[in-house]
Structure 1
Amino acid sequence: MSLRLRRILVLISVILFILAWGPVLFYTLGYRFSFADKSIRTTGGLFINTTPVRTTVYIDEAEKVTSFITGDIFVQNLKPGSHTIIVEKEGFYSWKKNLMIEPHAVEEAHIVLVPEEPTSTVIKEGLFFDIYGSPSGRYLIPIESRPQERMRLSVFDTQTKTFLEPTPHTDPSLLSFSSQDSPSLTWYNGDTFALLELADNWLLLTPNLNNTFALTSFYKKSKLSDALPQKPDDVIPHPSYNNAYFILSGTSLYIWHASTETLQPLLETIAGIAVYNDRLLSLDAAHGTLYTSTLSAGDAKIISTSSISLPGPSRIYETETAHIAHAKEDVWLLPKNQGNPEHIAHDIPRSQVRTNGSNLVWWRDNEIWIRWTLPEEDLPYFQDEFESRLYKGQKPIKQVFYYPEEHYIIFTGGAVITILEMDGRSGNHNIATLYEGIDPRIFVPQNKKVIYGTDNGMLFEIGLE
């Protein structure tokens, strides 16, 4: 075969390849030929995932159905521009949003449909008016009202569906406290034990596997009250030593060894701490800088170069890219890359802030705000700015919880429990009512799709699936 013939065959092969695969490449790049006006147009796509599955999706009134296994649907050949998307399923509130389709790109939406009549169960009737719980939702701590302006706590095991009995060694007087108290409950080691802060005391609550729970006074009626005349501002268990605790009193940091009843001085001029398995974060009260060190306060290193204003004891949280300092009612963001601190919010009590490691949610009066702490490239698909207002209503917001494993929140305001999506594209956050009563209070576990609540004396649960 001559060289000229080989060249002709190669050229023919290239032409045939282009003719065969050109349209395929043309199609995969999002180009379409319009037979109506005989022109080439660019297109985009839309990916939707819904919970529950097998929902009906309308894209500008064109009907589609999501998968009955995964709840997914992928739609191609959409004209660039705004499209009205509606998702429906019988027995659920519909979801509606205008989404902008860009050429050569796929827009997405992960949608949770809310049941119009969610399954609810009364656990017990009584005088319940508030509720707390462990992270997994294994244990609930409902609060009942009692005569003489007293409150009484109990412990309910959601796994065995039983109320736990206090151990014989539990002082009955610890089970009730003044209605003027605003209790704060923090769990450690999962659902192992919790520290309950009252106005003048700290209590240690430990559920047991034999359907009992122990409640002991950590501060009052202990040697710690002899060593510290004022109730500690913060108490955090030591991760390496059994029965040992970091104690922050004023600006002094100690380790309290409960077994030997000894108080070990550790640091001075400390505004707040965060404790991890292998390190201690401490916020300097004099200069407002953040340090990391060993658990014994050795090998200290500065991790924030700019100071912040600290009007009192602070609580420290850690996210993927930053530390959050909540000093009384002021919230600061301290970047881990030693960037400048950012004053996020003011007049926000500790009880009105939540964080899940990727964002910070706070509420005040009738508004709910969110500040994402992820790098810009890792923001959710629907988010194009770090901070935004999620909601503004007519009634004061009482509580806010993250919806488990989804970009939604659940909140109470007035007589209503509401679910709200974080996705605010096109200026619209889909919102739905889960419950309407008198004065509901709720607790939502981290990874369990259920709401536990109290209202009108009842203790109840609402299923989210």
Structure 2
Amino acid sequence: MSHGKRQLIVILLVAIFAIVAPTVLLFASGYSYNWHKHRIEKTGILYINAEPATAEVYVNGKKIRGSIPVSVPRLLPEDYLIEVRLSEYFPWSKTLTIKSGQTTFAKTITLIRNVLPRLDWRAEVTNSTFSANASAVAYIATNESWSELFHYDLKTKQTLLLARFGQDKYSKLDLHISPNGSRILLSAIDAITRERIVIIYKAELGSTAVELKELARLSAVRWSWSVDSSILALLGPTGLIFVDNDQTVRRQPLALNAVRDLMFGNRSLWLLSETVNSLKLFQASLAGQDALEIQIALPTKNYRFVSGNDRLLWLNDSGNKKGLAIRIDDLSWRQTSEIQDIRWEQTGDNGRLLLWNDFEIFLFDPNKSDEPSLITRLGTPINDVAWHPAGTYALFTTATGVTAIELDGRDHRNIVRLVEFGSVDSVTINAEEKLLYFIGSVGNQRGLYERPL
């Protein structure tokens, strides 16, 4: 080989190395050429985790190999359509943006079963309420002659008849069940005397019901269950009434005037007492002592308790359409949008809250934000809201159905219509078994239904 040819080969090898080496180094460093933008860009990574883990993942229509959770590397910075599919489940999709040199996460994907509800039992239910732990439902059912109060254990599938009365005996019937499902508060107006009837039942054979006759003249009943359901506290004409778990009744006089409401929170009982110019918050003793005043000035006199746990007391002023959140540890407070009810993700000192009023649902995480964020706004009244067991959806009930709306608001919120019925009343979620229970009717079949999630 001539000297000139050898020089040419060396020059070519050097040129190839000069071109290939930087390309390899750029590729190894996560860079790639973007043919759409005609430039070299640092790529990003997409991380996907979903439940069930047997689902299939597609990125821009291309199936991604590998089991969930899965990482998709070397994606150019742009928008990608992510789809997660599985037979007999509703699909999930979202367009996410991959950013240069960063990892985009989609790790809270939950697929929901595409199945029909199943009827557990039929009954002409007129009133119903589920326990907070989804262990039981209390309901009133009517037949040709009677109205009957039942307790139904959702785990053992056992039904217990607690009371029977004529269909016309009471009006304005109201049921409330303890958080653990063991006791039931019935409030109603006697059709003849027009006096209020308040009775507490315990869901045990042979247990004696407790009637609180001193509440007969009250226009409304204010009550609260302790978190462990061991105490039911009510406002009486002259003080507090406590009904313990064994149905023992204790009465505690109060030296306060115009007590308007009460609520358990952080193992204490809190009272709202109205004065001439303000509404004050008090902490009541459960040991027979006088209430202890807490110096906190509330913005208006119209607030009433909505809910409470170890961290927060939540109040609402329906007249001014304002909510109020009070931190129990330092009694600081903030005003929010109007809130009619709350669902706590957890009952302790962690977890998020779902808040709602007639037409809006909010998500609030006290550990990350000072303000609730709007999840959805509807044109149809919202009757109830519940947490999906995975914490990724809010389930809300309207008069004719149950809908799940995704909490991840990037791109769009996936929405799944779970139930489309003639009517839907109370609902609950069994988190362990991932079951939705509800009282509803379709056609002439009314009763308790369940639907896997």
TM-score normalised over the length of structure 1: 0.72
What's 1:362 paired with? 356
2:388 counterpart of 1:403: yes
Paired residues of 1:246 and 1:253 also in contact (CA < 8 A)? no
Shift in alpha-carbon separation, 1:240–1:86, aligned structure 2, 3 A: closer
Q: 1:434 Cα shift?
A: 1.9
SS in 2 for 1:268: coil
What's 2:73 paired with? 76
Q: State how 1:100-111 maps to structure 2 within 5 Å.
A: 100-103=97-100, 104-111=102-109
In structure 2, what is the Cα distance between the partners aligned to 1:177 and 1:353?
34
What's 2:56 paired with? 56
What's 1:285 paired with? 274
Q: 1:213 Cα shift?
A: 7.3
What's 1:155 paired with? 151
Q: Partner letter of residue 177 of structure 2?
A: T
Identity %: 17
In structure 2, what is the Cα distance between the partners aligned to 1:240 and 1:130?
24
CA RMSD of aligned residues (A): 4.0
1:273 alignment partner, one of 253, 262, 279: 262
What's 2:44 paired with? 44
Which deviations, in whole Å up to 9, do the C-alpha atoms of 1:103-122 show, x marking residues without a partner?
4243224122222224x332
Q: Partner letter of residue 345 of structure 1?
A: E
Q: 1:324 Cα shift?
A: 0.7
2:338 alignment partner, one of 341, 345, 350: 345
Shift in alpha-carbon separation, 1:87–1:215, aligned structure 2, 3 A: farther
In structure 1, what is the Cα distance between the partners aligned to 2:208 and 2:42?
67
Shift in alpha-carbon separation, 1:256–1:143, aligned structure 2, 3 A: closer
In structure 1, what is the Cα distance between the partners aligned to 2:449 and 2:224?
31
Q: Partner letter of residue 92 of structure 2?
A: W
Q: 1:284 Cα shift?
A: 3.7
What's 2:235 paired with? 248
Instruction: Return 400-409 or 331-340, whichever deviates more.
Output: 331-340
Which deviations, in whole Å up to 9, do the C-alpha atoms of 1:313-358 show, x marking residues without a partner?
53442364x4211356653223455545304217x4xxx5544452
In structure 1, what is the Cα distance between the partners aligned to 2:221 and 2:136?
26
Shift in alpha-carbon separation, 1:403–1:203, aligned structure 2, 3 A: farther
Q: Partner letter of residue 424 of structure 1?
A: G
Q: 1:72 Cα shift?
A: 2.3
Paired residues of 2:266 and 2:310 also in contact (CA < 8 A)? no
Paired residues of 1:288 and 1:310 also in contact (CA < 8 A)? yes
Paired residues of 2:267 and 2:310 also in contact (CA < 8 A)? no
1:461 alignment partner, one of 428, 449, 452: 449
Paired residues of 2:142 and 2:167 also in contact (CA < 8 A)? no
What's 1:194 paired with? 184
Q: Partner letter of residue 234 of structure 2?
A: I
In structure 2, what is the Cα distance between the partners aligned to 1:179 and 1:411?
30
What's 2:114 paired with? 116
Shift in alpha-carbon separation, 1:76–1:412, aligned structure 2, 3 A: same
Q: Partner letter of residue 221 of structure 2?
A: D
Q: State how 1:110-189 maps to structure 2 within 5 Å.
A: 110-118=108-116, 120-128=117-125, 130-146=127-143, 151-166=147-162, 172-173=164-165, 180-181=171-172, 183-188=174-179
In structure 1, what is the Cα distance between the partners aligned to 2:71 and 2:95?
17
Structure 2 gap ranges (5+): 1-20, 190-195, 347-351
What's 2:31 paired with? 32
Paired residues of 1:131 and 1:443 also in contact (CA < 8 A)? no
What's 1:415 paired with? 400
2:239 counterpart of 1:216: no
Q: Partner letter of residue 81 of structure 2?
A: T
1:435 alignment partner, one of 415, 419, 423: 419
Q: Partner letter of residue 279 of structure 1?
A: S
Q: Partner letter of residue 181 of structure 2?
A: D
Q: 1:146 Cα shift?
A: 4.4
SS in 1 for 2:178: strand
SS in 2 for 1:295: coil
What's 2:223 paired with? 235
Structure 1 gap ranges (5+): 1-18, 380-384
* Bigger CA radius of gyration: 2
Which deviations, in whole Å up to 9, do the C-alpha atoms of 1:284-338 show, x marking residues without a partner?
43333434465346694637x4422132653442364x42113566532234555
Which deviations, in whole Å up to 9, do the C-alpha atoms of 1:125-176 show, x marking residues without a partner?
232355322233332223324458x75332222233232244xxxx533x96
Shift in alpha-carbon separation, 1:194–1:154, aligned structure 2, 3 A: closer
Higher relative contact order by CA 8 Å / sep ≥ 6: 1 or 2? 1
TM-score normalised over the length of structure 2: 0.74
Q: 1:187 Cα shift?
A: 0.8
In structure 2, what is the Cα distance between the partners aligned to 1:239 and 1:34?
59
2:203 alignment partner, one of 207, 215, 227: 207
Instruction: Return 133-142 or 289-298, whichever deviates more.
Output: 289-298
Q: Partner letter of residue 391 of structure 2?
A: E
SS in 1 for 2:422: coil
